Structure 1
Amino acid sequence: MKNKLIYPAAIILLQAMACGGSGSENSNENNPIENTPTETVGQSGVKDDVSNPNIVQVAVGSKDHTTLVTAVKAASLVDALSNAGPFTVFAPVNAAFDKLPAGTVEGLLKPEKKADLQHILEYHTYVGVLKIEYMNDGQEYEQVSGQKIKITKKDGKVFVNDVAEIVASIPTSNGIIHVINEVLLPPAK
């Protein structure tokens, strides 16, 4: 009976020694799967700029905001508006820029007018998220420029400074874009 138990135990021990190696080697050393850093594994390691884009990425992807994107680039505000925020941007469509006097946009895009362009774009930007449903008639908000805009509600529509209608709202990963049909011109300082 003893022999019946010893033989199978010896066979198992020999098989384990043959497959297992000496134990002094690192069996994971040449295994790329075992040596992959775990910090890039899983959902948190996925870089995804498509399903939840930021304000700049949404604007760049919009055919109606090419003039605004050009202005943001000329004013060196791409990085600022790509940051975590949150921000609310009142984004004029191309047609809104077309309503400005001839040569205005071209003049503002010149390097020597960069500070003026930044000021105008900062007047279109609020730090925080202003959802349309929380805006009240007559409410004012201080913009990044330090000047205030005023919200007006008429016939179910929402206006900024009584001239620019909010025609759409787009949530982004770092805030919200309110598409407007007029360029907001800051009051003289």
Structure 2
Amino acid sequence: MKKVFKLSFIICSCVILSCNTASDQAQSQEAPSNLTGQSGVKDDLSQKNVVQVAVASPDHTTLVKAVQAAELVDALSNAGPFTVFAPTNAAFDKLPAGTVEGLLAPEKKEDLADILQYHVSLGVFKAENLTDGQVIGQVNGGNITVSKKDGKIMLNGTATLVASVPASNGMVHVIDGVVLPPK
């Protein structure tokens, strides 16, 4: 009797494992082969990463175009954690005429990447933990300085933090200005 039970258990286990393997193979065959990097991972169930948060925002189409032009999508889709200070479309509109278009040109890719990386910190900096005078190192090697005035949080005295959105790989702080790195 014990031998029959063991044999039945082994047969059932093999059948179950073979079903899972066939299912896994079918799923892997359905996955598109042209997607590469972390940005190619499709996951509609998890919390959005910092890039997906920006893509989902109608107020950040210029930022998304810039991140794509600088080829930073994969880097910002990785585990992080990142804090992204995300200028709105209106923030980019405040720059002198032709600035954004000029930076989107392929020959300005390094300059664009430097500016965008000046908007990214390693680590998660929540708005409620930012302090007046705090200096935060940015991915491009520069620093930004936080100030608080009349209950508002500002970066380098030029951009105001207007909203914060948590992401799976960090935090996105919406800002009303583009913060330019010192020359």
Match in the other structure for 1:62: 57
Change (3 A) 1:154 1:113: same
Deviations 1:97-116 (A, max 9, x none): 00101100000000000000
Match of 1:120 among 115, 121, 132: 115
Q: Return the alpha-carbon distance in structure 2 between the equivalents of residues 104 and 56 of structure 1.
A: 23
Alignment pair present for 1:99 and 2:94: yes
Match in the other structure for 1:147: 142
In the alignment, structure 2 segments of 5+ residues that lack a partner are 25-41
User: How much does 1:49 deviate?
Assistant: 3.1
Q: Secondary structure at the match of 2:19?
A: coil
State the aligned residue count: 160
Q: TM-score, normalised by structure 2?
A: 0.80
Corresponding letter in the other structure for 1:157: K
Corresponding letter in the other structure for 1:178: H
Q: Return the alpha-carbon distance in structure 1 between the equivalents of residues 11 and 147 of structure 2.
A: 70
Deviations 1:46-98 (A, max 9, x none): x7434401001111010000000000000000000000000000000000000
Match in the other structure for 2:165: 170
Match of 1:75 among 70, 79, 84: 70
Q: Return the alpha-carbon distance in structure 1 between the equivalents of residues 43 and 105 of structure 2.
A: 34
Q: Return the alpha-carbon distance in structure 1 between the equivalents of residues 46 and 76 of structure 2.
A: 18
Corresponding letter in the other structure for 1:92: P
Match in the other structure for 1:90: 85
Q: Secondary structure at the match of 1:96?
A: helix
User: How much does 1:163 deviate?
Assistant: 1.2
Matches within 5 A, 1:33-52: 35-37=19-21, 48-52=43-47
Structure 1, 172-181 or 29-38: larger mean CA deviation? 29-38
Match in the other structure for 1:184: 179
Superposed structure 1 runs of 4+ greater than 6 Å apart: none
Alignment pair present for 1:136 and 2:120: no
Q: Root-mean-square deviation (CA), in Å?
A: 2.6
User: How much does 1:133 deviate?
Assistant: 1.2
Q: Return the alpha-carbon distance in structure 2 between the equivalents of residues 50 and 178 of structure 1.
A: 23
User: How much does 1:132 deviate?
Assistant: 1.0
Q: TM-score, normalised by structure 1?
A: 0.77
Identity, in percent, stands at 60
Partners of 1:29 and 1:35 within 8 A in 2 = no
